[in-house]
Amino acid sequence: MSNITAFPSSGGGNGQVGFDRLELQRIMDLYGRMVSAGYWRDYAMDMGREAAIFSAFRRSAERPEYRIEKRPALRHRQGMWALVGEAGQILKRGQELQGVLAPVERKLLRIVED
């Protein structure tokens, strides 16, 4: 697994958006369960001025199956969290990370039940 550095999400001195410890823990927990189910194999993180993005891949040579995006500038509009699908469509938006991850959690339950 990659070496992970989480940057402050408060927009500190460098103006970089990041995941806080609890957010990253929640995302990595879901990632680990999807890996255990044999569904995901790789991930990537991108942290910039406007967004922090976690991308999950079935195979590293493909486009990510899901992107979990945190955009604090949208906090008071649609919500700062978004779940983006492989084709770039927004599957879910919200104020809370847990609600945005719900479609992936349901998918995991279907994978495990099969």
Tokens of 99: 């609600």
Q: Pick the residue with more confidence: 47 or 13?
A: 47
Residues with Cβ < 8 Å from 103, sequence gap 6 or more? Answer: 83, 91, 92
66 forms bridges with which residues in the sheet?
56, 85
55 neighbors 71 (Cβ within 8 angstroms): no
**Residue-level pLDDT at 27:** 97
Tens of pLDDT, residues 73-104: 999 888 999 999 999 999 999 999 999 999 99
Tens of pLDDT, residues 26-70: 999 999 999 999 889 999 999 999 999 999 999 877 789 999 999
**Residue-level pLDDT at 14:** 63
